[in-house]
Amino acid sequence: MKRTILGLAVAVGLLTGGGAVRAEDKVMLKENLKANDVFTVTTSFEMTMAIHGIVGPQEFDQNVMHRREEVMGTKVLAVENGRVSKLRRHIVSQKETEQNPGMAGPETKDGEDAGRIYVITGFGKGRKVECLNDAPTETELKKIKNNPQTMILPGKAVAVGEIWEVPADVLKEMFFDEEGERPEKMSMKCKLLGTEEVKGVKCARVGVELYISSKQDTGMVLAIEVAGEGRFALDSGAFLGWELSGKTTMTGEQEQGGQKITMKGEGPLKMRESWEPGKADLGDESKKLAPKPQVGEVGGGEEEEEEEEEGGGMGGGK
């Protein structure tokens, strides 16, 4: 479920108001990263949802939880027309924690990208992604994106209190995979709240409100509604982090085993990300990762056997 929930709805109030500001108070908000800039990126995503469903004459209630925590080392390799056109990303660690129906309790394991070193060239559907120390599937490669957060910057001087909207094509590149999701409604508004200094870096404080809903191949409609603040370095436009919170919802019908299932769910969502400039663990591509055994594969280990035995519940949605 983790990848299919990315969509968002705008909370009212954060972006309203704001009086006139002198022209000399404007600050430039645009990406200005340089080749060889490095960052350590720490992210977390946590979602819980209470689901009510109907199958024929029967009703059921389920609770699900997903948490993802990640540390990455990132290096800018090339810049083109003011935007990062090539970067290296080492997934230093990636942990996935899930609680689904049929499980005795939350289970934590390494994510599929843990330890991988990627080089991403270009943007959007035209980007090229290669892994230097592993052999991801084509589907996994398509989920790896460039440096999307700086794309929300307007690329011009902005006054405190000024609001701008992020174009729909930018939102699609930021939040959707290439396959399996069809965005229905997308909206992201940003507001310059002010400037401040963080660890010696002068930053812009940007208010964010985001709504995106998407229809899945299963027929379900998923949406996320979040609001919060982000920070960008004024000298480089580097994204330094954000903290967003809100809710996620799910509605719709799907067929399973010849029966129609109607489901509706809702729950809280938190998204956090921070970038620390100046240092990064970029990994060593000469150290190849061990192949990841598939469920049921000989030599898959006890963990894989347990997963195969317990494979009930809602299935393997990400």
Q: pLDDT per residue over 222-241, tens digit each?
A: 999 999 999 999 988 888 89
Return the pLDDT at 109.
Answer: 94
3-state secondary structure of 87: strand
Asked if the structure places residue 18 within a domain, the reply is no
Asked if the structure places residue 17 within a domain, the reply is no
Asked if the structure places residue 76 within a domain, the reply is yes
Q: pTM of the prediction?
A: 0.78
Percent of the chain with pLDDT over 70: 82
Range of the domain at 297: 24-309
Asked if the structure places residue 275 within a domain, the reply is yes
Provide the domain count of the chain.
Answer: 1
CATH number for the domain including 93? 2.30.230
pLDDT, tens digit, for every residue of 77-130?
Answer: 999 888 889 999 999 999 999 998 888 889 999 999 999 999 999 877 788 999
Asked if the structure places residue 167 within a domain, the reply is yes
Whether the pLDDT of residue 75 is over 70: the answer is: yes
Return the pLDDT at 94.
Answer: 96
Give the pLDDT band (50/70/90) at residue 5: very low
Whether the pLDDT of residue 179 is over 70: the answer is: no
Asked if the structure places residue 10 within a domain, the reply is no
Cα–Cα distance, 275 to 38 (Å, whole number)? 10
Return the pLDDT at 295.
Answer: 40
Whether the pLDDT of residue 181 is over 60: the answer is: yes
Return the pLDDT at 172.
Answer: 81
Higher pLDDT pick, 4 / 69: 69
Asked if the structure places residue 8 within a domain, the reply is no
Cα–Cα distance, 218 to 230 (Å, whole number)? 33
Whether the pLDDT of residue 180 is over 60: the answer is: no
Cα–Cα distance, 6 to 297 (Å, whole number)? 32
Asked if the structure places residue 263 within a domain, the reply is yes
Return the pLDDT at 178.
Answer: 56
Give the pLDDT band (50/70/90) at residue 147: low
Whether the pLDDT of residue 38 is over 80: the answer is: yes
Cα–Cα distance, 317 to 68 (Å, whole number)? 14
